[in-house]
Structure 1
């Protein structure tokens, strides 16, 4: 399957971005809506990934400090190609913005994938929305998306 990723404005695509994120994070993962949507949404760069049928099937955001977060892909499209496309595009945006380093706060099951992609652990495991997470950082020049498969 082929995917296409577009950078979008939070103000213009807020309803669609919220719809995808609610479906994945609020309904599937039971993250409280008030935690899922925060003040960083208005300040961040957002992307939407479309299927070959031009259906919006996922989203992600890049915060001004280089934090990649809110990666949500609909269940039927959770595959290596979708995540590779989404993450590569977010890293491209970070590079275009002049950032040297990107960060993620990933669930513990995903830490090995990120480490294989050039990320290093930062600090201790912490809880976010009732889910244990690890902060990781990676120089953009070292980023490799190949290990990514089934991220949420």
Structure 2
């Protein structure tokens, strides 16, 4: 199966984006809806990834400061190709905006994947929606997706 990623407008595709994120974050990971959807949604760039049948299977967003977040993929489509496609597209958007660095607020189990790929820890571990996370930074020029597999 192949996939394709497109940049979409939050206002125009809000229902599709929310449906995917609710399914993954709210129902599967039990993140409160009021935490999952925030003021950054209206200010961020959003992407959606669709399968061969044009069904939306995942999404992610890029905040104006370079934070990549809200990467959500329907369970049956969680594979390296989907995550690599989403991440590469979001990094390309960041580069097109002239950003030098990208950031992620990573769950602790995934920190080694990011660190092995050139990300650097920023600050202390913090709690977000009851989940311990580590902020990581990577220069866009050093970004590559080979080690990434299962991101939420």
For normalisation by structure 2, the TM-score amounts to 0.99
Equivalent in the alignment of 1:140: 140
Give the drift of 1:144.
1.0
Measure, in 2, the Cα distance between the counterparts of 1:116 and 1:93: 23
Secondary structure at the counterpart of residue 144 of structure 1 = coil
Per-residue Cα deviation, 1:93-128 (whole angstroms, up to 9, x for no partner): 000000000000010011011112211000111100
Per-residue Cα deviation, 1:43-90 (whole angstroms, up to 9, x for no partner): 000000011221100000000000000000000011100000000000
Equivalent in the alignment of 1:32: 32
Secondary structure at the counterpart of residue 12 of structure 2 = helix
Unaligned runs of 5+ in 1: none
Give the drift of 1:15.
0.5
Structure 1 residue ranges (4+ consecutive) displaced by more than 3 angstroms after TM superposition: none
Equivalent in the alignment of 1:65: 65
Give the drift of 1:2.
1.1
Measure, in 1, the Cα distance between the counterparts of 2:48 and 2:131: 24
For normalisation by structure 1, the TM-score amounts to 0.99
Equivalent in the alignment of 1:118: 118
Q: Which moved more, 1:87-96 or 1:117-126?
A: 117-126
Equivalent in the alignment of 1:101: 101
Aligned length: 152
Unaligned runs of 5+ in 2: none
Secondary structure at the counterpart of residue 70 of structure 1 = strand
Equivalent in the alignment of 1:88: 88
